[in-house]
Structure 1
């Protein structure tokens, strides 16, 4: 499996350089650290934030990032801070029981509240907007399924199936829509703020330092061979998401690199004002998401139908140096095609980029101690849905890594715990692809 591509393409969020992009707290790599976090995205930033807040006598912390800070999935996603209170949670309830589904739904809602509180308390300049998310469904069977899930989850969210649902949602050919509280923000600005605070409190951050291998030493510590030398650590947290298997072979086909695409659409002409975020759910496996930016532009991600059939284009593909070409045509005329009143807007793609998500085999995050690897922890496998999960997941991780708590005492959803049994789960990513091919 691949390490991060050395020449990953840029994204809208990272067009302008940020001061910590190439930061190295010390000129040379320290020989030892109590705790090493591999990865420099949202997981790592949130983890150091909670460790510093909860544990004043924290161990020494070293963060190793293979490229620029926040240059992976966090710096390339859509900035969509959107819980899923009924669709994914309902599917989990059907498979694992109602309590398990409700637990995940409540956890994601709590994340949105916690992130908002953190940003307001810290006065973080990251364009946070809390609004309504609008899930749009286009087929009657989807509408029936959504109704059933909402009833099962006992959700109080708004559901529209009236004959004027197109006008309510603003989306052509809509047959139903669900609205609920959601948000959006500038992801890399949030993460850079977290790391600025961490560095000021003594956390050592080393960018452009790729970890090549991990070795367990006779004394129980871990040796990390990097592109700039070797570091010895008592504990290691793998915040590596799609790249986990490159260092831990047992995660091959467990956390799968999944290449995806987002774009920025600008609207020089007149167009209706969008205040909601959106998910356009064409089928169970094919959906796009949109966020309206404060500058008037729109971030759109998805386009699965354009490239899904070409498995090598996305499955196990960690090359973010170029865009999936089929998606360029997909996004042309996107707003005019799907949204009422946008026909004369001249909306067009201004920027398009690729990012590598880490899809978990069972489509659930992998959090906690790694089985049979004492001192090694994982916080990865977000399956394209990390924005409404990572912040409070990091709080639980801090309690395990530094506080010594067992997973069961952290308050994290039971389904997210890494266990040996999860390694044997069916590959739902491939199962979904097989259905999409039919």
Structure 2
């Protein structure tokens, strides 16, 4: 594992697998250029990466007066939002009960509560922003269901829910952050159509439901970036940053194949690719390739799609599943990702892997069979066109301590990366927190943003072993 963790990190590849979410590219942000004469002027803020973190940072900077915010430029190596954000399932799901006990033990009650509250607030804030700005991105709030096939994890689930109930005592918590409902196997099978088994034929032990949601993440981010461009953001797609150099006068020189940009400060919103530009993050943020499939729904499934989103939790891993909502293109399609630990090498070759131009055949085989396995008789027959509509890969960023790196690295070099495949639940408000530190905005950011998420030299130099369970 250590050898995979320390593999050199490469830049985004030019011809990735086609993401289901990018089949209809944004018509306005496909290939953005700008007046070359302006490039002679120093940029105040250069953002690298156009995913949800970069979009959040850009939006929050641009809310300041023009005289204060200065010139803001965003570089994207490939077409807009072509990294992890444009490739994940769009699951706005905290699953805070799974990490809360560990955070409680290692960080203490106050910090554990702060992390769970951030996840919940981030979900709400993401959907609220989409609604307020009328972004057409399939934004919806709904209950999610974790179907659990491992008795040990079922007991841990029940214990965690009780612990959260004891810790969250503010008015409204019972209807929000710890609104968990435990279901017996019989109840869950009947209510949620999960009539099958776990991946190894194991029976369902129980299920837990709670508030979550789903969103078309590519459309959400391109919607935000369209707003940012209107506010003055200069977006450059197909412009990969290849080197960052600190100049003698204290600025940053950022090289691309097209030209060199000079900026007062640089923000890395580069997630799994970060170490390619920032050597001190080598082995600190580790790329991990994930795989996703889009399934045409079986003939016995609800015609307009499932109401809930799902995770399927088994002994050494889990899969996540998002149905396309009614009234959308391909309504009822089931997006399911995971399968990392279903390979002969237990997913080892996906660690440190930045090649999203190809698929892992073992994971493909597993994911292809996952829907009839989990839904059993509720699935029915496959559609005449075939079960699989599309499959693709994407690169996530994992950290040794399990928390993202947000904040100041050194010399006006800033970061928001390493979101553990959990970006849809952390990135939007992490971008806001980063900007409050970046611009010294007076406020109470430390009262709501977890201390464990701020990057530090201590965190960046700590030793450890990557654990993504």
Q: TM-score, normalised by structure 1?
A: 0.93
Q: Secondary structure at the match of 2:378?
A: coil
Q: 1:47 to 1:248 in 2, by over 3 A?
A: same
Kindly provide the CA deviation profile for residues 24-53 of structure 1, in whole angstroms up to 9, marking residues without a partner as x.
Answer: 233577232010001111111111112223
Say whether the 8 Å CA contact 1:274–1:292 is kept in structure 2. Answer: yes
Matched, 1:192 2:222: yes
Matched, 1:45 2:55: yes
Q: Which residue does the alignment assign to 2:353?
A: 317
Q: Which residue does the alignment assign to 2:432?
A: 395
Matched, 1:21 2:44: no
Kindly provide the CA deviation profile for residues 32-87 of structure 1, in whole angstroms up to 9, marking residues without a partner as x.
Answer: 20100011111111111122235553121010111110001011101111112210
After the TM superposition, which residues 419-434 of structure 1 pair with which residues of structure 2 at under 5 Å, given as runs?
419-429=456-466, 431=467
Q: Which residue does the alignment assign to 2:182?
A: 159
1:236 CA displacement = 0.6
Q: Secondary structure at the match of 1:211?
A: coil
Distance 1:268 1:161 in 2: 25
Distance 2:238 2:318 in 1: 34
Say whether the 8 Å CA contact 1:242–1:256 is kept in structure 2. Answer: yes
1:406 CA displacement = 9.4
Distance 2:349 2:24 in 1: 28
1:325 CA displacement = 1.4
Matched, 1:355 2:394: yes
Kindly provide the CA deviation profile for residues 230-287 of structure 1, in whole angstroms up to 9, marking residues without a partner as x.
Answer: 111111101011111001111111011101101100026231452111111113x410
1:299 CA displacement = 0.6
Matched, 1:11 2:19: yes
Say whether the 8 Å CA contact 2:293–2:391 is kept in structure 1. Answer: yes
Say whether the 8 Å CA contact 2:404–2:418 is kept in structure 1. Answer: yes
Q: Which residue does the alignment assign to 2:252?
A: 222
1:309 CA displacement = 1.5
Q: Which residue does the alignment assign to 1:34?
A: 44
Task: Specify which of 119, 131, 145 is matched with residue 156 of structure 2.
Answer: 145
Q: Which residue does the alignment assign to 1:255?
A: 285
Kindly provide the CA deviation profile for residues 84-138 of structure 1, in whole angstroms up to 9, marking residues without a partner as x.
Answer: 2210222211221122211111111111111121111100100111100111211
Task: Specify which of 112, 115, 130 is matched with residue 141 of structure 2.
Answer: 130
Q: Which residue does the alignment assign to 2:306?
A: 274
Q: Which residue does the alignment assign to 2:236?
A: 206
Say whether the 8 Å CA contact 1:223–1:231 is kept in structure 2. Answer: yes
Q: Secondary structure at the match of 1:147?
A: helix
Range with bigger deviation, 402-411 or 186-195? 402-411
Distance 2:273 2:332 in 1: 34
Distance 2:377 2:208 in 1: 21
Say whether the 8 Å CA contact 2:75–2:237 is kept in structure 1. Answer: yes
1:312 CA displacement = 5.4
After the TM superposition, which residues 281-430 of structure 1 pair with which residues of structure 2 at under 5 Å, given as runs?
281-283=313-315, 285-294=316-325, 295-307=331-343, 309=345, 313-346=349-382, 348-370=387-409, 373-403=410-440, 409=446, 411-429=448-466
Q: Which residue does the alignment assign to 1:239?
A: 269
Distance 2:348 2:129 in 1: 40
Q: 1:157 to 1:224 in 2, by over 3 A?
A: same
Say whether the 8 Å CA contact 1:37–1:238 is kept in structure 2. Answer: yes
After the TM superposition, which residues 101-116 of structure 1 pair with which residues of structure 2 at under 5 Å, given as runs?
101-116=112-127
Distance 2:84 2:35 in 1: 26
Kindly provide the CA deviation profile for residues 201-256 of structure 1, in whole angstroms up to 9, marking residues without a partner as x.
Answer: 11111111111111111221111111111111111101011111001111111011
Say whether the 8 Å CA contact 1:23–1:205 is kept in structure 2. Answer: yes
Unaligned 5+ runs, structure 2: 1-8, 166-177, 197-202, 326-330
Corresponding pairs, count: 429
Q: Which residue does the alignment assign to 2:89?
A: 78
Q: 1:407 to 1:286 in 2, by over 3 A?
A: farther
Q: Secondary structure at the match of 1:81?
A: coil
Q: Secondary structure at the match of 1:305?
A: helix
Cα RMSD of the aligned pairs, angstroms, is 2.0
Range with bigger deviation, 87-96 or 199-208? 87-96
Q: 1:134 to 1:383 in 2, by over 3 A?
A: same
